[in-house]
Amino acid sequence: MEKLEKLSGFAGRKGPLLLIIMDGVGLGRQDDSNAVSLANTPTLDRLLKGECFISIAAHGEAVGLPSDEDMGNSEVGHNALGAGRVFAQGAKRVNEDFATGHVFSGKLWNEIVERGKKGGAVHFIGLFSDANVHSNLNHVYQMIDRLAETGIRKVRVHPLLDGRDVGPRTALSYVQPMEEKLKQIRDSKGFDYVIASGGGRMNVTMDRYEADWNIVKRGWDAHVNGIGRKFHSCTEAVNTFYTEGVDDQYMGAFVITDDKDEPVGRMEDGDSVVFYNFRGDRAMEISKTFDSGPEFNKFDKGRIPNVLYCGMMEYDSEAKVPKNYLVQPPLIQNTVSEYLIREKITSFAISETQKYGHVTYFWNGNRSGYIDKDLEYYEEITSDRIPFDQAPKMKAIEITNRTIELLNSGKYRWGRLNFANGDMVGHTGVMKATIEAVETVDSCVCRLLSVVEKLGGIAIITADHGNSDEMFEVKKGKKTLKTSHTLNPVPFIILDYGYQGEYKISNVGRPGLSNVAATICNLLGFEKPENYDPSLITFVK
């Protein structure tokens, strides 16, 4: 890893550099579907008219996803921001191993097959859609086909219904084809392939950053022990929740029972479990639960069958979670933080629980913990455990207050923070709350800019992807709620309080999130690393 070279004519400013990530705030159509444009945002409006503003890509190939039809997400967005380069990510990385068949040639897959041949069931748990954000059902279909071809007689599927990265009530479009697929295998081969349990992603199994372990407990109880609301099919469960006014992502835990009202999918000794999400944040806690020994104290697991557990990918390379995984994740080394630490540049990172891992773990190339605790400071503000539309301010004010303290301390040359509001409230689909969320962020950004100005520093304002910029779609004249991320670009803004025309926005072909790291290096007075994507600024000779 080479050292950074200092710029010959620019050493940065006397004050700190602050990177503000407005999570989920993209640049969409200026119409009544756009909570960002409907919100009262005097600060953002002013910044978008500034000299150092451009829009940058935050989805698709610009962040390492398979195509530009794939929406960005916070994981790949923060990877790209921190890495300064584009890596094959998520679905693209997993697709490579499925395309070559490599996923089926490893020791771990062979161990799953051997357990299956001895009578053990193979369980698949994960987000049940094809959105390419956390998972893709196509991978599950390929694994099921492979098991059926190999003669494995018992498979259990445990769907975690999406309704967030896809439409809010689209579950049946994924559930019913899977039910039909499993029925065909039962009828043609006489194998025991069924859906066994499930629930909505925000209520069952897929908690993140230890915000609420009860979510994981509900999943463990349903998937492992067959404890939950009983139905005779997954379609019946979904339709019942719909009649009760519950959308996909908020459905409670359910289990499928046989004619004797017994759960069909309790896990037993000798079974195997594949958690097929490739994104790590909502896979960590359930993985720790399966991998843990007697030291586990988050909840009472009850019976603990002897199963082989694996994830689709390694979700944390430092903590080694999970112990077993099918696909190697991208190896992201030499992040911008690593480079700056080698130059003894002090920094801080701060967010609330919902996005804390994004400004630390994902930013640092999928590694948890400090790179150098003597030069870094990380702070997590605990998120509230209530629906985000009921408290759209979330912890933005607390983050702002603490960031101001950190800036005023004089200890840090640069810092980064994430305001989760635009994304987390945007996912609820509640327009009024999302507008309030965006307005809250705007007012907090204003307060932070005042401090950066007082200290003679520089602020970068951007986002990791869009969300609140498109709250509904109109298809064939019908308005449909949109709770997923968007394909829209995001703002990139520099506000330099010592600016005297030393640089200008550069002419980068299709600028994206991966160009930000080089820009950070420049604004701190360093040349970009040789292998980084180009900076978004060019210095005027």
Dump pLDDT digits (tens) for 90-102: 788 899 999 999 9
Q: Mean pLDDT throughout 406-417?
A: 98
Q: How far apart are CA 309 and CA 301, in angstroms?
A: 15
In this prediction, residues 451-462 reach a mean pLDDT of 98
pTM of the model: 0.81
Mean pLDDT of 367-371: 92
pLDDT in tens, 116-147: 999 999 999 999 999 988 999 999 999 999 99
Architecture of domain 17-88+331-380+400-415+447-482+498-539: 3-Layer(aba) Sandwich (3.40)
pLDDT-based confidence at residue 320 (cuts at 50, 70, 90) = confident
Average pLDDT for the chain: 95
Enumerate the CATH 3.40.1450.10 domain ranges in the chain, comma separated: 92-327
Q: What percent of the chain has pLDDT over 90?
A: 89
**Per-residue confidence band for 479, with pLDDT thresholds at 50, 70 and 90:** confident
Tell me, what's the pLDDT at 437? 98
Of the candidate ranges 65-74, 265-274, 291-300, 457-466, the one whose mean pLDDT is the lowest:
65-74
Could you tell me if 267 and 307 are in contact, meaning their C-beta atoms sit under 8 angstroms apart?
A: yes
Contacts of 319 (CB under 8 A, 6+ apart): 368
Percent share of the chain, pLDDT over 70:
99
- Average the pLDDT over 412-432 and give the result: 97
Q: What is the mean pLDDT of residues 162-166?
A: 94
**Local confidence band at 476 (pLDDT 50, 70, 90 cut-offs):** confident
Burial 458-483 (b: 16+ CB within 10 A, else e): bbbbbbbbbbbbbbbeeeeeeeebbb
Question: Sorting pLDDT into bands at 50, 70 and 90, what band is 317?
Answer: low
Cβ–Cβ under 8 Å, residues 471 and 437: no
pLDDT for residue 384 is more than 90:
yes
pLDDT band at 371 (very low <50, low <70, confident <90, very high): very high
| Amino acid 495: pLDDT | 98
| Phi, psi values for residue 426, rounded to 5° | -60, -35
Residue 492: its pLDDT value, please? 98
Give the pLDDT band (50/70/90) at residue 89.
Answer: confident
pLDDT digits 0-9 by tens, 38-47: 999 999 999 9
Q: Is beta strand 503-505 parallel, antiparallel or unpaired with respect to 537-539?
A: antiparallel
At 318, the pLDDT band (50, 70, 90 cuts) reads low
Cite the active site residues.
74
User: pLDDT value at position 417?
Assistant: 98
pLDDT tens-digit readout, 173-192: 999 999 999 999 999 999 99
pLDDT of residue 187: 98
Q: What is the pLDDT of residue 368?
A: 87
Q: What is the pLDDT of residue 11?
A: 95
| Phi-psi sector, 178: left (phi>0), alpha (psi -120 to 50), beta | alpha
- Domain(s) labelled CATH 3.40.720.10 in the chain stretch across 17-88+331-380+400-415+447-482+498-539
Residue 224: both structure tokens together: 């492992």
Q: For 285-300, what is each residue's pLDDT tens digit?
A: 999 999 999 899 999 9
Helices 107-117 + 137-150 axis angle, to 10? 50
pLDDT at 342: 97
Nearest to 331 by CA among 347, 318, 350, 344: 318
- CATH architecture of the domain with residue range 92-327: 3-Layer(aba) Sandwich (3.40)
CB half-sphere exposure, 382, CA atoms < 13 A: 6
